Amino acid sequence: MMRVLVINPNASVEMSDVIREQLHAVARLDVVVEVVNPPGAPPAIESALDEAACVPPMLALVREAAGQGYDAVVIACFSDPGLDAAREATDLPVVGIQDAAMHLAAQIGYRFSVLTTLAHRSPVRERAALLAGLDRRLASCRPLDLPVLETVVNREQVVEKIVRIGRQAIEEDGAEVLILGCAGLGDLAIRASRELGVPVVDPNAAALKLCETLVGLRLTHSRAGLYRSRPREEAMV
Amino acid sequence: MMRVLVINPNASVEMSDVIREQLHAVARLDVVVEVVNPPGAPPAIESALDEAACVPPMLALVREAAGQGYDAVVIACFSDPGLDAAREATDLPVVGIQDAAMHLAAQIGYRFSVLTTLAHRSPVRERAALLAGLDRRLASCRPLDLPVLETVVNREQVVEKIVRIGRQAIEEDGAEVLILGCAGLGDLAIRASRELGVPVVDPNAAALKLCETLVGLRLTHSRAGLYRSRPREEAMV
Amino acid sequence: MMRVLVINPNASVEMSDVIREQLHAVARLDVVVEVVNPPGAPPAIESALDEAACVPPMLALVREAAGQGYDAVVIACFSDPGLDAAREATDLPVVGIQDAAMHLAAQIGYRFSVLTTLAHRSPVRERAALLAGLDRRLASCRPLDLPVLETVVNREQVVEKIVRIGRQAIEEDGAEVLILGCAGLGDLAIRASRELGVPVVDPNAAALKLCETLVGLRLTHSRAGLYRSRPREEAMV
Amino acid sequence: MMRVLVINPNASVEMSDVIREQLHAVARLDVVVEVVNPPGAPPAIESALDEAACVPPMLALVREAAGQGYDAVVIACFSDPGLDAAREATDLPVVGIQDAAMHLAAQIGYRFSVLTTLAHRSPVRERAALLAGLDRRLASCRPLDLPVLETVVNREQVVEKIVRIGRQAIEEDGAEVLILGCAGLGDLAIRASRELGVPVVDPNAAALKLCETLVGLRLTHSRAGLYRSRPREEAMV
Amino acid sequence: MMRVLVINPNASVEMSDVIREQLHAVARLDVVVEVVNPPGAPPAIESALDEAACVPPMLALVREAAGQGYDAVVIACFSDPGLDAAREATDLPVVGIQDAAMHLAAQIGYRFSVLTTLAHRSPVRERAALLAGLDRRLASCRPLDLPVLETVVNREQVVEKIVRIGRQAIEEDGAEVLILGCAGLGDLAIRASRELGVPVVDPNAAALKLCETLVGLRLTHSRAGLYRSRPREEAMV
Amino acid sequence: MMRVLVINPNASVEMSDVIREQLHAVARLDVVVEVVNPPGAPPAIESALDEAACVPPMLALVREAAGQGYDAVVIACFSDPGLDAAREATDLPVVGIQDAAMHLAAQIGYRFSVLTTLAHRSPVRERAALLAGLDRRLASCRPLDLPVLETVVNREQVVEKIVRIGRQAIEEDGAEVLILGCAGLGDLAIRASRELGVPVVDPNAAALKLCETLVGLRLTHSRAGLYRSRPREEAMV
C-alpha cells in the first residue's frame, strides 16, 4: 500500500474534484491518492505573485505529510511552485507535474509542445524547460487563452480548443507529443490523444506514476546538492 | 496483468540471470518480466561494432513481441542500441535503459554522473545525454575500467569500485545522483546508495518502471516524427 | 532627486547597516538610499525554504514603494528571491543584486566567477546564470564556506577567504572578474580588487547603479511578456 | 566631474550632431560628453570591410583619451568595431553600444529584439548576442531596410518604420523589449516606446550610463584574460 | 594514385551509376573512385530500420577495403549509417557524406539548410547537426517530399523541387548555403546553385574531397576516444 | 593548374619561409602556392591590437588576388584576422587556418584541443570555436607559453613542448585530436602525431586542402548573408 498526497495549491475545490476523480482512474489498485487544497491558498495560480502566495500554505502541508503516513507528495500546479523548497522540507519524494510531464514526453518523442493556459505564461514554461535541460526538446509553448479556473468548466469548448491548438503545434511546430499544461486539463488527455493521433501527456498522471516509481524503487531527491538545505528549526536541533 | 519483454542484446546468459532476478524483486506483483538473449547476439556490447551486430537479432524479437502478448519492451544494454529502429518496428512502448535512467536521475537531483564500464565509452554516454537534452545535467561520466562481462563476476570488487569512483563523482564533479551505466550492474544500486548517501539509479529498474507507467497510461512513442517510419514490408501492404 | 528602496529581505539589522553605509558611499549625490528589513523576515536566506519565507513580507514593502515616493527598488539578497513577483507587483524598476552583478561582470571580462557563501548554493547560482543567459560566461562558482550572517562579522578573516578563494578562481578557473555573491560582502569589493588585481563586483552597488540608469532613462521592466501579470486585486478592478 | 569621449567611428558629422544632442539630454549634470569623428573614418559602417577600415583611426583617438583627461570611452557604432582592441589600448573603461544595449535589455525583459539597419547585418547581430552569451534572450533581429546614413534624415518615416517593424517583433517573435540597432536611431527610443508600449533601448544612452556606472564604481575591463595584451610599444618599454 | 571506395549502402544500382558518373567528374585525375552496393542491402534507406539493416553488409565491405588496396572509404547515404562502427573496423579514413557536407557548408556561410527527402527524416538531420556541433549553424531542414529512389528518376521535376524549396530556405529561413540531403541528388548541385545564386553542396563530392584531403595529409580518425574500439576478433589476437 | 595565395599577415619573413617550405611538401602537384607578407604588417599577431593593425595591409593583397590570377586565398594566422572582411572583398574562396583546422579536426574525432601560443589567447580560441559552432567539440585550449615568433626558432624545444602539453590535453582533457594553433607550428604536426599517437592537425595544410576542395568543386563563400556586403567603391559603381 502506498499513499500519495496531491496538493492542488490553489483554492478551487472544483479543480481538486476533477483531479481526484481522474487520478483514481489511473492509480494502481494499491495506491491511495488524496487531493487537497491548502487553507489560505490563492484562487488560481496565474502569475509569479500567485506562486509566491501559494507556497507558504502548501509547505505547511508538505511538512506534515511524512508524519501523516504519506509516501510521496505531488504539487498539482503546472508551474511547480515551491518545488525546491518542498524538497528541502521533507525526505519524501516530491514531484512537480510540469517537470514530470516534460521528462515523460521527452521519452516518447523527440519534440514536444506544451499547451499552456495564458499567453504570458509561455516564458515561464520555456524557462522551466531550460532548467530541466529540455529546451532543445521543446517544440513550442502555445497558449489556449484560457484562465486556469475555466479549464474545468464548459469542457466541450476546452476540448475543442486543445484539439485546434494542438493540431497547430503538430503541423506548424513539429511537435510529436503534447503536454496539457494545467492541472485542470489532465483528464482530457485521452480524448485529445484520440482526436489528434499523437500521445498527449496528462501532467497529473505523469506525476502520480513517477511517485509510484520512486516509492517502488525507494528513491527520493538527493541531499547532496541543490536540495541539501533543511528547515532551519530542524537544522538547529 | 502486464507482460514486459526485457531483451539483453548480448549473449551472456549469466547477465540475463542477474537482470531477471533483480527485476523480479522490483516489478509490481501484476507485472510479468521475461529476460531473453537474442539468438546470434555478440558476446558483449562494448563498441559501435558490437552495437551494429546486436541490432538485427534484437529487432527480430521486437517484431514478434506484440504477437506474443507482451505489453512493452526493454532494451537492456546501456548504449540503447537500436532504440529508434525498435520503435519503428512495433507499436508497443520500447524503453532503453540509458535514456530511462538519465531522465529518472534528472528528476531527483540537478547534476548526475554516469559510472560507465570502459573509458572509451564516455563520449558515447555524453552524446546520448546531448541527444536526450540532458548534457547540462550530466556532471561527469567516469569509467569503472571494467569490461561488461566482468560486471557480473567478483561482485565485491565491483561494489568497491563503484563506491570509490562514485565518491569521486560526488566530491569532485558535483554529482548529486549516480547512474550505474551497465545492465549488469543494476542490482548493486541499493548497496551503492547506502554506502554513498546519494540516490543511485539502477537503469534496468528505471526502464521497467517506465514501462509500467507507459502501459498504465496507455502511452507509447509518437508516430508523428522521429519514429514515423514503419517496417518496409508493412508499409508496402 | 531619486529615491531608491533597498530591501534586505532577511531579519539582520546588522547586515542592513553594512549595506546602508556602503551604498551611501557609492550613490550619486542626488540619490537617496533607504535600506530596510521587512517585518517577519527569516533570520538569513540560505535555502529555498528561506526564499519562500522571505518573499511575502518583502512583497508587502514592494507594493507600497510607489505610493511612498520611491523611484526604484533593490532586492538585496544574492538569490534575487521574488524578483519576478516583485516586478509584477509594481511599475517601478525592481533590480536583483545577482542579476545586476552578473550582467555588469559580463561587460568587463569574458569569464567571471561568483564567490558564494555556502557550497550547496552553487547550483542555485549556476541556474541563475543559465536563466540570465550567462552560463557560458560563468567560469565557476566557488564557495567561501561562510554562513550568510558571518559575512558581516570578523571581517579580516572574511577578506582573507575572499582573496584566497578568489585567487583560485582566477588561476584555476580562468576567471577575469569576480562577483562577491552575498549582500553582506559588497563593501569588501574594493579591498579584494586591490589585492587580486582583477575587477571585483559589489552586487549591491551594481544594483544601485542599474537603478540610477533605469530611472535616468525612464525605463522599467516590460509588461509585454514574463512580467505581464498584475496583482489579482488590481486586475479585478 | 566625469568626462566621456564618444567616438562615432564613421565620417558623418550629422550623425555625431544627433548623438551629441541626444546624449546631452540624458547625461548626468556632472558628466561632460564629447562626440567626435576620427579623421579618415569611412562614410558609414555597413560591412566587415567598413569595420576594418574604421578601427585604426578610432584606436588613435582611444590611445590619447586618458592623456586628454577623459574618464571613459564609448564606441558609438552598433557593431562595436574594435572593442577588444580598444580595451587593450587603454585602461579607461571602453563601452560598445551594442553590448551595453543587449545587457540592459536583458535586465528588463526575458526576450528582446534588435531592429537593425540592413538585412545582411542580422548574422552580425546574432553572433554578437552569441558572444555576449545572450543568444537565448534574443527573440529576433529584424531589419529596418535602412542604410545607416538615412537613419538621421527623414525622421518621420524612420519612426514609422521602427513602429511598424517593432510591432512585428513584439507580436510575432515574442519580444518584450526592443533595441534600436544603430547609433543614429538612439534619440527615437522614447517616441518608439510611447507608441509601442514596451521599453525601447537607446544604445547610445545605455553605453553612456554604463560609463557612469563603471567610473562611479572605479571599475574597468579586466586585464587577466581576453584583454591582457597591451600595445606592443608599451609592452616593449 | 589514390583509390577511394564509395559504398552506396542501399540496393539501387541506378543510384550507384549516378553517383559514379558524378564523382568521376569531380575527382582529381590521380584518384580512382569505385562505387559499389553491398550484397544484401535494403532497397532504400529511409528509416532507422533501414539503417540497421544496411550496416552489417556495409561493414563487410569496409573490413576488406584496406586489404584490397583502397586508401579511403565513403559511406554514400546521407544518414551516415554505421559511420562510427566503420571507423572502428578499419584504420583507413572513413567519411560520411552528411558530416562532410555539413562541415563544408559551415565553412562558406553562416547558416545552411538541408534539403532532405522525406519530412520525417528532419529530426534525424537535426540530431546529426547537434552531434556535429553545428546545430546553431543549421538554418532549417526542409523536406522535398521525395522518396529516396525517386531522386534519380524524372530529374527535371526533382530540379524544379530543389529550386522551389531551396528558395524558401533562403528567403524564409535565412539559409546562405544549401546542402542536397541525399546521395542521389549530388549531381544536381551545380544546376541548383546556378539557379539559386547561393552555394549548393553536393554531399558526395564533399566526402570525396575530404578523402583526398585526409589521404593527402596522412590523417585518419583518432583511436584515442570515440573510435578506440576495434573488431573483437582483432582485439582478441 | 591552381594558384593559391597564402598571406602571412605578420612581418616575419622567416615564418613565411617555414610555411612555404611546408606547404610545398603537401600541395598537389598542380597547385602553385605563394606565401607573402603584406607591406606594413605588424611584427607578430598576439593581440586584438595586432589583429586590427594587420588587416588593412592584408586586405590590399586580397583585393588584388583575383586580378593577379589566383584561385584562392589563405589567411595564415591562427586568429583568422579579417576573414569576414576578406570574403566581402573578393569572390575568390578565402580560408582562415583556424576555422579550417577546427572543422577538419571535428571530422576525425569527437573532441579536439588547440595548443595555442600564449595563455591570454585562450578566450580568443574559445570564442572562435563558439562562432564556428564547435564549442562542444573543443576539449580544451592549452597554452604552449611561446611567443609567436619563437615558434620558428629552437625547434627541438618547441617540439618537446608540443608533445608535453599535447599529452596533457589527451590524458586530462580527453582530446582525441590536436590542432597546432599557430601558422609557425604547422610543419611540426607529423612529428607530434608520431610521438603522441593521435592525429595532429597542421592548420596551414588544412587550409590549403580546403582551397583545393573549394576550387575543385567551384564553390566559394555565399553572398546571401554574412558576406553580402561588397567594397563600397564597387557597390557605388
Q: CB of D186 within 8 A of CB of D209?
A: no
Q: How confident is the model at residue F116 (pLDDT cuts 50, 70, 90)?
A: very high
User: Percent of chain A scored above 90 by pLDDT?
Assistant: 89
Alpha-carbon span A15 to A20, nearest angstrom: 9
Q: Are strands C72-75 and C31-36 parallel, antiparallel or unpaired?
A: unpaired
Please count the other Cβ atoms lying within 10 Å of the Cβ belonging to residue D154. Answer: 11
Statement: residue F236 has pLDDT above 50: no
For chain C, list the strands marked E by DSSP: 2-7, 31-36, 72-75, 94-96, 112-116, 138-143, 177-181, 200-201
- Residue B23's alpha-carbon distances to B7, C47, C217, in angstroms, are 13, 38, 64
How much of chain E, in percent, has pLDDT values that exceed 90? Answer: 89
Banded pLDDT at D200 (limits 50, 70, 90):
very high
Residue of B229, B233, B236 to mutate when probing chain E, most E C-beta within 10 A: B229
> E-chain residues within 8 Å CB-CB of A198?
none
Contact B130 F111 (CB under 8 A): no
Q: Report the alpha-carbon distance of residue C23 to residue C18 in Å, rounded.
A: 9
CB F119 within 8 A of CB F126: no
Cβ contact, residue pair D127, E110, below 8 Å: yes
Task: Tell me the β-bridge partners of A114.
Answer: A141, A179
- Alpha-carbon span E173 to A131, nearest angstrom: 28
For E170, the closest of F95, F212, F224 (CB atoms) is F224
Mean pLDDT, residues D185-203 taken together? 96
* Residues 6+ away with beta carbon under 8 Å from F70: F3, F4, F5, F34, F92
Q: List beta partners, residue C191.
A: none
Which residues in chain C are closer than 8 Å to A230, comparing Cβ atoms? 47
Q: Describe chain C by its helix, strand, coil percentages, rounded to 5.
A: 50, 15, 30
* Percent of chain F topping pLDDT 90: 89
**Yes or no, beta carbons of C213 and D216 under 8 Å apart:** no
Cβ separation of D110 and A130 shorter than 8 Å?
Answer: no
Would you call F222 and E28 a contact, using CB atoms and an 8 Å cutoff? Answer: no
> Chain-wide mean pLDDT for chain A?
95
Q: Which residue of E has its CA nearest to B47?
A: E229
Interface residues of chain E, partner chain B, Cβ below 8 Å: 42-43, 46-53, 55-56, 59, 82, 84-85, 87-89, 120, 122-124, 127, 130-131, 225-232
What ipTM was assigned to the predicted interfaces of this complex? 0.96
Asked if A136 lies within 8 A of E123 by C-beta distance, the reply is: no
Q: Do β-strands C138-143 and D112-116 pair in parallel, antiparallel, or remain unpaired?
A: unpaired
What is the rounded CA–CA span in Å between residue E208 and residue A202? Answer: 50
Calculate what percentage of chain D has a pLDDT beyond 70.
Answer: 98
pLDDT given for residue A235 in this prediction: 52
Asked if the Cβ–Cβ distance from C174 to F127 is below 8 Å, we say no
Nearest CA in chain F to D83: F48
> Are A109 and B220 in contact (CB < 8 Å)?
no
Q: How far apart are CA B4 and CA B114, in angstroms?
A: 25
* pLDDT less than 50: residues of chain C: 236-237
Mean pLDDT of chain D: 95
Look at A130 and D136 and tell me if their CB atoms are within 8 Å. yes
**Which of chain B's residues have a Cβ under 8 Å away from the Cβ of F136?**
130, 135
Give the confidence band of A199 by pLDDT, cuts at 50, 70, 90: very high
- Count E/F contacts: CB-CB distance under 8 Å: 130
Whose cell is 509569479? That residue is A48
Containing E31, the helix (H) or strand (E) segment is strand E31-36
Q: What pLDDT is stored for residue D233 in this prediction?
A: 67
* Cβ E35 vs Cβ E6: under 8 Å: yes
Residue C103 is placed in which grid cell? Answer: 550582467
Whether residue B86 is predicted with pLDDT greater than 80 in this model: the reply is yes
Label the pairing between strands E94-96 and F200-201: unpaired
**Cβ distance of D213 and C104 shorter than 8 Å:** yes
Q: Confidence class of residue A115 from pLDDT cuts 50, 70 and 90?
A: very high
Determine whether the interchain pair F222/E198 forms a contact, defined as Cβ–Cβ distance below 8 Å: yes
Rounded CA separation D197/C225 (Å): 12
Q: Do D123 and E136 touch (CB under 8 A)?
A: no
Confidence of residue E237 (pLDDT cuts 50, 70, 90): very low
Res. B108: pLDDT tops 70 = yes
% residues pLDDT > 70 (chain E): 98
Residue of A nearest to C51 (CA): A85
Nearest to A88 among C49, C127, C232 (CB): C49
Which three cell numbers mark A167? 493540431
| Cβ contact A136–B134 (<8 Å) | no
Give the closest residue to E96 by CA, choosing from E128, E61, E142.
E128
Nearest C-alpha of chain C: how many angstroms from F7? 30
Rounded Cα distance, A97 and A114, in Å: 12
Q: pLDDT by residue (tens digit) across B187-221?
A: 999 999 999 999 999 999 999 999 999 999 999 99
Q: How far is B86 from chain C (nearest CA, A)?
A: 35
**How high is the pLDDT of residue F234?**
64
Per-residue confidence (pLDDT) for residue C234, from 0 to 100: 64
Instruction: Tell if the CB–CB gap between D232 and F51 is shorter than 8 Å.
Output: no
> Do the two chains F and A touch, given a threshold of 8 Å on CB pairs and at least 3 pairs?
no
Residue in A43, A49, A59 closest to C85 by CB: A49
Q: Which residues of E touch F26 (CB under 8 A)?
A: 216-217
Q: What is the pTM of this model?
A: 0.96
C-alpha distance from C235 to closest chain D C-alpha (Å)? 18
- Tell me what pLDDT residue D221 has: 98
- Predicted confidence (pLDDT) per residue in F163-209, tens digit: 999 999 999 999 999 999 999 999 999 999 999 999 999 999 999 99
Residues of chain F in Cβ contact (below 8 Å) with chain B: 110-111, 136, 174
Grid cell in block for residue D123 = 548574422
Report the chain C residue with the minimal C-alpha distance to residue D22.
Answer: C217
For residue D160, the tally of other CB atoms under 10 A from its CB is 12
Is the Cβ pair A110, E123 closer than 8 Å?
Answer: yes
Helix F97-106 / helix E97-106 crossing angle, nearest 10 deg: 160
Q: Residue F167 burial (CB < 10 Å; 0-12/13-18/19+)? A: middle
Nearest residue on chain B to A196, judged by CA atoms?
B224
Mean pLDDT of E21-26: 95
pLDDT score recorded for residue D237: 41
Interface test with B, best of F108, F136, F198 (most B CBs within 10 A): F136
Q: How far apart are CA F99 and CA F106, in angstroms?
A: 11
- Nearest-5° angle of CA D173, CA D175, CA D178? 130
Q: F153 to chain D, minimum CA–CA distance in Å? A: 20
For D81-138, write each residue's pLDDT tens digit.
Answer: 999 999 999 999 999 999 999 999 999 999 999 999 988 889 999 999 999 999 999 9
Neighbours of chain F (3+ CB pairs under 8 A): B, C, D, E
Structure-block grid coordinates of residue A60: 505547511
CB of A113 closer than 8 Å to CB of A141: yes
Q: Percent helix, strand and coil across chain B, each rounded to 5?
A: 50, 15, 30
Q: In chain B, which residues have their Cβ closer than 8 Å to the Cβ of C123?
A: 110-111, 174
Instruction: Please name which of E173, E146, E166 lies closest in space to residue E157, comparing C-alpha atoms.
Output: E146
Cα distances from E186 to residues E115, E163, E180, in angstroms, run 11, 14, 6
Amino acid at F221: H
B131 vs E122, E130, E231: nearest CB? E130
Return the pLDDT at B214.
98
Residue contacts between C and D (CB atoms, under 8 Å): 130
- Minimum CA–CA partner of A111 in chain E: E123
C-beta atoms of B198 and A224 within 8 A: yes
pLDDT at B237: 41
Residues of B with CB under 8 A from a CB of C: 110-111, 136, 174
Distance (Å, whole) CA E27 – CA D179:
50
Count CB pairs under 8 A between chains B and E.
87
